[in-house]
Structure 1
């Protein structure tokens, strides 16, 4: 079994994307590791099958801390500067929301339309 596990924060609200006739939630997670006394932040793209319930998308919001595990997939592409870029993606099998709901979901559920505090580092 080949599996990747990550705890991190969602970088922007999840989007629904059709891939091969099925809908997937697409979002990125940032996680930070300390190497040689310095913090280094890494980004991983995630795809999660929408499945029977599409309510999960309401909770995959910027800043939400999540735990994911799934099948990693690495590919490469040439960017606009003609440089090869490695692209890391995880097909998510297991997703758990951590640390409560993000502020924007709390405001929506309470009927409060005030903007969410957006001073997150990503």
Structure 2
């Protein structure tokens, strides 16, 4: 049986996505996502713990991230966890663990620069718009058949 590598996160963007356009026309967006958990210690004090996640989105998801996502916005991210290695400027081997997004849903959250968020805004009718979901289409060589 094959293993399962699936990550689901709901959190707030720590910064605007940084988008790079690579040779061959591919794009990649990188951003951080903060998730919070709350618990009480032995004295009953409420403690908040924030975990920061590195997110990368490719191709169409990168373009969507560049266009719509802003610092502080709440999003749902679904993807795979990956660890990769690279050589830093001092030729030291470094490792980074990141989430490669397959799906991003804008949940609203904090508006950016006084503007209404892409999905949290209310229209003329006063009703909130439904969250907008973007998915990464699989490459032909990723299909299991």
Q: How does the TM-score come out when normalised to structure 1?
A: 0.67
1:54-91 Cα distance to aligned partner (Å, 9 max, x none): 34412211000000010111357899xxxx98633100
**Aligned CA distance change for structure 1 residues 53 and 74 (closer, same or farther; 3 Å):** closer
* 2:11 is equivalent to residue 8 of structure 1: yes
**Aligned CA distance change for structure 1 residues 33 and 100 (closer, same or farther; 3 Å):** closer
Which residue matches 1:29? 33
Separation (CA, whole Å) in 2 of partners of 1:2 and 1:96: 19
Unaligned runs of 5+ in 1: 110-122
> Secondary structure, in 3 states, of the residue corresponding to 2:102?
strand
What is the aligned residue count?
A: 105
Matches within 5 A, 1:6-85: 6-18=9-21, 21=24, 22-35=26-39, 37=41, 38-51=47-60, 54-75=63-84
Q: Which has the higher contact order (CA 8 A, sep 6+)?
A: 1
Unaligned runs of 5+ in 2: 42-46, 119-145
Contact 2:18 2:31 in 1 (8 A): yes
1:86-113 Cα distance to aligned partner (Å, 9 max, x none): 6331000010000257323827x9xxxx
RMSD: 3.3
Contact 1:10 1:61 in 2 (8 A): yes
More displaced stretch, 57-66 vs 89-98? 57-66
